[in-house]
Structure 1
Amino acid sequence: MRIDQYLTDFHQGTRRQVFRLLRQGRVTVNQTAIDSPLTSVTEQDDVRVDGRPVTGRQPSYLVFNKPVGVQLNLDATVPHSLGGLLNALDREQALKVFSDLPKEATGLVIVSDDDQFLQDVASQDWLSTLRVRLTGVVSELPALDNDLTFEQVDLMPNKIHQVTTVLARTRDLAVGVPTLANLQGADRPVSRVAFGPLRLPVDLSVSSYRGLYPDEIDNLAGPLVDEDELLKND
């Protein structure tokens, strides 16, 4: 059996993730690093990813809808922490939080036990999309006109309900979140509703989380330079 199919069958990731594992030198067969998806293996071979047998490696990729006031700590014993939202099974994983969404903000947070995945996501330098609601109908925000913290700001006034939704894209959450929270008329906490290609699931209630879907994982990690080779081998 081809190594890429073998790893897929053992739930080591999507086809693109498996290809990435091989290209990053994270797969060994009988203590030898393997980088070609065409390599043949059998059940008698010692196949490992990151030094762990494939039968003992089931990586986790999660997206949270973090409540306001909750800090990004995965220790369930810490009050008002992300770890307190985990179920008993997920608490046993060596999970890590990606990004630095301040506790004053709510919304999308990514968590995984795959260190290389988190590094791949970080290397993409994705923008965060922040949302805040203002009371009243607003057509312009002079306070943000010359603010280089944001790469794009969109205003969506609602005359019926007399409110305006502000969507702002930034990489600087430490500055972006308080800047939006302090806008005149802000009546709710700032929320991160998207991170790069990943949008906060509309059906994911506050304080809940779910696993990332395969296409979400692939999109967040970004393409590989030689990804076309994988497509040719399909």
Structure 2
Amino acid sequence: MSSKERLQKVIAKSGYTSRRKAENLITEGRVKVNNKKVTELGTKVGPNDDIEVDGIPIEKEEPLYIMLYKPRGVISSVSDDKGRKVLGDLLSEEIETRLYPVGRLDYDTSGLILLTNDGEFTQKLIHPKYKINKVYVAKVKGVPTKPEISSFKKGIEHNGEYLKCVHSRILKVDKKKGKSIIELTLQEGKNRQVKRMFESLGYEVEKLKRENFGPLTLGNLNPGDYRELTPKEVKQLLNLAEKNVK
């Protein structure tokens, strides 16, 4: 940090939590700056100030943003009590910063996922109000009709939860094999959302891949590969999120 910033923003940037939750921690009296309890949300801190949350020092790391091509069979987490492979296992040991996934992809879903230590960045990309498009391609057992696929945009109910997409289209149909390739664009990320939407129509998703996250695409990455986002890409994502809430 080159200048003073709001305390909740600094906590969020450390990757500890989102800015909103950081605000709650401050008002609850759980944050100290230079060993003094702070409860005012307007408090600003500089690079030399010592910050603690519940007695634990906040490490003011430089923000890091990674795009990774998650293969199937990997947990979208930094740890797993069952010993399964997690996202961190795919990163080089040279990356010492503790990173957290921006949202998640199911164990058997592949594709583009972001990792960062910037909690505020994460919040802006996963909260539905920021309307960041995520494009998924599903290989489906069966051949849904166009009206059925169009119903996803209107929204459907599944087990008491309302699910919808902002765009859907059929990419390919193999009537002999009874298979379809269908693209869905979502702005929300509810648990198993794409699979549940197809289940509601009686179709099974055999494979699912996330192709795009906002303006980002996998490009030349292979499963298990990753790269750091450029400053321009980070700015692009944040600008898009800000634009969508105006």
- The bucket for the TM-score relative to the shorter chain is 0.5 to 0.7
Uncovered stretches (5+) of structure 1, i.e. residues with no partner? 8-20, 35-46, 226-234
> Do 1:120 and 1:222's aligned partners in 2 also have CA atoms closer than 8 Å?
no
What is the aligned partner in structure 2 of residue 87 from structure 1? Answer: 92
Distance of 2:241 and 2:209 partners within structure 1:
31
| 1:51-200 alignment, distance < 5 Å | 57-75=61-79, 78-90=83-95, 92-123=96-127, 124-134=130-140, 140=146, 142=148, 145=151, 147=156, 148-157=163-172, 164-170=180-186, 171-179=188-196, 188-199=206-217
- Helix, strand or coil at the partner of 2:212: strand
Residue 188 to residue 105, structure 1, CA distance change in 2 (3 Å): same
TM superposition score normalised by structure 2: 0.59
The question of whether the paired residues in 2 share the 8 Å contact of 1:68 and 1:189 is answered with no
Q: 1:82 to 1:142 in 2, by over 3 A?
A: same
Where does residue 225 of structure 2 map in the other structure?
208
* Superposition pairs of residues 38-53 of structure 1, within 5 angstroms: 48=47
Aligned residue in 2 for 1:232: none
Instruction: Give 1:17's aligned residue.
Output: none
Q: Report Cα offsets for 1:42-61 as digits up to 9, x if no partner.
A: xxxxx728869xxx843210
Please identify which structure carries the higher strand content: 2
After superposition, give the CA deviation of every residue in 1:91-140 in whole Å (9 maximum; x if it has no partner).
x2121111022212111111011222223333524232110134788763
Equivalenced residues, count: 187
> RMSD in angstroms over aligned alpha carbons?
4.0
In the alignment, the residues of structure 1 paired with residue 101 and residue 147 of structure 2 have an alpha-carbon distance, to the nearest angstrom, of 33
Cα 1:196–1:69 shift into 2, 3 Å: same
Unaligned runs of 5+ in 2: 11-33, 35-42, 52-59, 157-162
**Partner amino acid for 1:221?**
L
Q: Cα 1:122–1:51, aligned 2, differ >3 Å: closer, same or farther?
A: farther
SS in structure 1 opposite 2:72?
A: coil
Q: Quick one: which amino acid aligns to residue 85 of structure 1?
A: L
Once the two structures are overlaid, the 10-residue window that deviates more, 173-182 or 63-72, is 173-182
Amino acid at match of 1:64: L
1:143 CA drift (Å): 6.2
- State the one-letter code of the partner of 1:79: R
CA spacing shift, 1:223–1:174, aligned 2, 3 Å: closer
Q: 2:237 is matched with which residue?
A: 220
> How far did 1:82 drift?
0.9
Tell me the residue number matched to 2:38. none
Question: Which 10-residue stretch deviates more, 121-130 or 65-74?
Answer: 121-130
Deviation at 1:89, TM superposition (A): 1.6
**Alpha-carbon distance change, 158 to 122 in structure 1, aligned in 2, over 3 angstroms:** closer
Contact 2:125–2:241 under 8 Å retained in 1: no
